Amino acid sequence: MRKYHRWLSVIFGVFLLWISITGVISQIPMWGEMFGGEGDADRPVAAAPAVPAGFTCPESMVCRPKPSGSRSWVGVVHHLHSGETFGPLGTVIATLSGLALVFFSFSGLWLYIQMWRNRKDRALKPGWFWK
């Protein structure tokens, strides 16, 4: 298990770092709303831009003005975070990275439990943490 944990961490480490950084960046606009600042929800919606004569919104779609301010950045960061910016391959890598994160969680816990049991079996000082 330790071998797989080590090899997958080398392969997916960079992707997981990318996903974690873009995930944190995508939450920055929400921090202002949480800590009493003016959020985008409080701002008035800009008037819709002029549409060409004769244009009607298709029934299967909802037509709205493009988001502005921090909301537009959230959309860009979301596409980077999910891998959509890099096409189908980016989405596959993002999905595999998420699955790798689940694997690292379980295998890391499993390795810790094995080390803890091994330490207990060797009659060393018991405890949750050691040097």
pLDDT digits (tens, 9 = 90+) for 82-122: 888 888 898 888 888 888 888 888 888 888 888 878 877 77
pLDDT band at 59 (very low <50, low <70, confident <90, very high): confident
**pTM of this structure:** 0.54
Q: How many CA atoms lie within 13 A of 115 on its CB side?
A: 13
Residues 6+ apart with CB under 8 A from 33: 39, 40, 41
Question: Worst-scoring range by mean pLDDT, 2-6, 19-23, 64-68, 110-114?
Answer: 64-68
Q: Given the structure tokens 């090899």, which residue do they identify?
A: 7
Q: How many CA atoms lie within 13 A of 88 on its CB side?
A: 0
Q: What's residue 58's pLDDT?
A: 76
Is the pLDDT reported for residue 124 higher than 80?
A: no
